[in-house]
Chains A and B, each alone.
Chain A
Amino acid sequence: MTLTLTLREAPAAPLRAEALCPDRLAGLSRAEIERLELWHGNRRATLGELFAVSGAGAEDVRVVGDLGRVAGLGAGMTGGRLTLEGSAGPHVGAGMGDGELIVEGDVGDWAGAEMRGGRLIVRGSAGRRLGGAYAGARAGMHGGEVLVHGDAGEEAGAGLRRGLIAVAGRVGAAAGLSALAGTIVAFGTIGAHPGAGMRRASIVAMTTTTLLPSYSPACTYRPPFLRLCLRRLRALGLPVTDEQIEGRYTRWSGDSVELTRGEILILEPPR
């Protein structure tokens, strides 16, 4: 059974919707769901005022409507499946621990910020700080998978601690900023200064890019782990080519202003 929440009209002010998670809706009757309180601008509103509730169950939840001003959808979710039919606002899936969150459109900034597990799939594009760390936090995403079929904004994976971020399109500047570990895969072009301040993480780039002078080339080889990683991403629906799976990658080590334990792997261009 699917529980469907249909936004009655685009909210006049930003709406915080962290409560709209399968695990938080579990065990609630329709009336109880409708009585849940959300912050709409600077006032509290009931979910029933803002959303029409239909269907039942909480393992599979769909949220329908113009969600561009709705923040925090699926934030902190720990299980189940949440589908957002359309574009959503900032903080989608932030801090999520488990489950699957699918966004049929775009997401705003901070999608998957500091998430700990589960899978966030964005069919459109993502804003800034995808899987990133909030101000004052050392570490961003701690685990799980983020797949973006479109583009991602600046500082994707900032402070990444663990987990996998894959972007089918363009990735903005400073991807992996101060990342501690984890993996970022950029299938499209990648912006300036990837891996700035990175400690141990991996950035995989399918296009050539200019790196900071604090990165040094090591060798060109076929990283065995990358085969696993790319096959996994293909299985999850990203357009990964055989050439990318079988290809040779030049390993650049850095950032030497940090530990020099990070790596940027750049696919060798076809000869």
Chain B
Amino acid sequence: MRLHGVEVEDTFAEAFTMWGARIVVTADTPAWAQHAARSLTGFATSVIGCKCEAGIERELDAAETPDGRPGVSALLFAPDAEGLGKRLVERVGMTVLTCPTTACFNGLEAEDETDVGGKLRYFGDGWQASKVLDGKRYWRIPVMEGEFLVEERFGIVEGVGGGNLIMLAEDAATALGAAEAAAAAMRAVEGAILPFPGGIARSGSKVGSRYSGQMASTNHELCPTLRAQVDGSKVPNGVGSVFEIVIDGLAPEPVREAMRVGLDAAARSGALRITAGNYGGNLGEHHFHLRELVP
């Protein structure tokens, strides 16, 4: 297949069911909302080592937030609902509660919910108070600055983790340019995030390793420097660098849409070849075929 003259491999991205939540952080200024959201979503690139994956979904105007202040929405994903609940409590507690002027709200109406504010309230050491408004309970936790407000229940859904695109180009700068263009296009898709730094991973991995205890290791078949050493290398002649973009979404559709716009942008921005990562189709519940994304 070719898209804008670029070869697109007829393969698919294999993705997994992950539980996701949307966290809305507001603050007195956009800058403080960003500080909190960046901390909230920091060190959350991959469940391989971070227990969760997270990213900023978008900035919110004051008119869009529950308390009428500027805000940021972030998505957080974990392999199971219980783990997601734990990560939410840990991260909201350590990054939003601690951040000046912020408040934290659920951004996802869903059948399933997890308790966040109801657990963080214990930080109030008995001085906390709750308020119920329009059927939702909020916790007011006294802090040295004044008061931290957090919603009690957060909606959680079965989403998708691990949608991906892999961009190959002549050199690192060109490959990165293509990946940056793809990531920029993908960020406009609501309901999806790119958990890696800047949305881009330079070190795609495979499951397992020759070393026991190492659950993931470098995707040697796509390392350009190993092309001459690895039997069955997937790096074509003339390719000097490869980047991967991983996409997590609250449902399959945002992941598919992000892959579609990312594929188009990468193909216009210097990629020599675009492919996707999978495990033969036997592990992940969601398969996103590139052929369905090429017009």
Task: Give A residues with C-beta under 8 Å from B.
Answer: 143, 145, 162-164, 183, 200, 202, 219, 221-225, 227-229, 231-232, 245, 261
> Is there contact, CB below 8 Å, between A225 and B138?
yes
List of A residues within 8 angstroms of B129 by Cβ: 200, 261
Q: How far is the CB of A243 from chain B (nearest CB, A)?
A: 14
Asked if B132 is at the interface (CB within 8 A of a chain A CB), the reply is yes
Complex: A256 Cα to B68 Cα, angstroms:
34
Give the dominant DSSP class at A's interface: mixed
Complex: A22 Cα to B129 Cα, angstroms:
35
Given the interface contacts A200-B129, A232-B133, does A227 sit within 8 Å of B67 by beta carbon?
yes
> Is there contact, CB below 8 Å, between A143 and B132?
yes
> Is there contact, CB below 8 Å, between B132 and A228?
no
23 intermolecular pairs with C-beta atoms under 8 Å apart: A163-B132, A164-B133, A183-B131, A202-B131, A221-B146, A222-B146, A224-B140, A224-B146, A224-B147, A224-B148, A225-B133, A225-B138, A225-B147, A227-B67, A227-B68, A228-B67, A228-B133, A229-B131, A231-B66, A231-B67, A232-B133, A232-B134, A245-B68
We find that the number of chain B residues with CB closer than 8 angstroms to chain A is 16
Asked if B87 is at the interface (CB within 8 A of a chain A CB), the reply is no
Asked if B52 is at the interface (CB within 8 A of a chain A CB), the reply is no
> Is there contact, CB below 8 Å, between A162 and B132?
yes
Given A145-B134, A221-B146, A227-B68, 14 more pairs with CB closer than 8 A:
A163-B132, A183-B131, A219-B146, A222-B146, A224-B67, A224-B146, A224-B148, A225-B138, A225-B140, A228-B133, A229-B131, A232-B134, A245-B68, A261-B129
Given the interface contacts A228-B138, A231-B68, does A223 sit within 8 Å of B132 by beta carbon?
no
Identity of the chain B residue whose Cβ is nearest the Cβ of A261 in the assembled complex:
B129
List of A residues within 8 angstroms of B131 by Cβ: 183, 202, 225, 229
Interface centre among A224, A232, A245 (most CB of B within 10 A): A224
Given the interface contacts A143-B132, A162-B132, A200-B129, does A228 sit within 8 Å of B66 by beta carbon?
yes
Asked if B103 is at the interface (CB within 8 A of a chain A CB), the reply is yes
List of B residues within 8 angstroms of A231 by Cβ: 66-68
Asked if B153 is at the interface (CB within 8 A of a chain A CB), the reply is no
> Is there contact, CB below 8 Å, between B147 and A223?
yes
Q: How far is the CB of A250 from chain B (nearest CB, A)?
A: 13
List of B residues within 8 angstroms of A143 by Cβ: 132
Q: How far is the CB of A217 from chain B (nearest CB, A)?
A: 15
Asked if B149 is at the interface (CB within 8 A of a chain A CB), the reply is yes
> Is there contact, CB below 8 Å, between B103 and A224?
yes
Complex: A240 Cα to B67 Cα, angstroms:
14
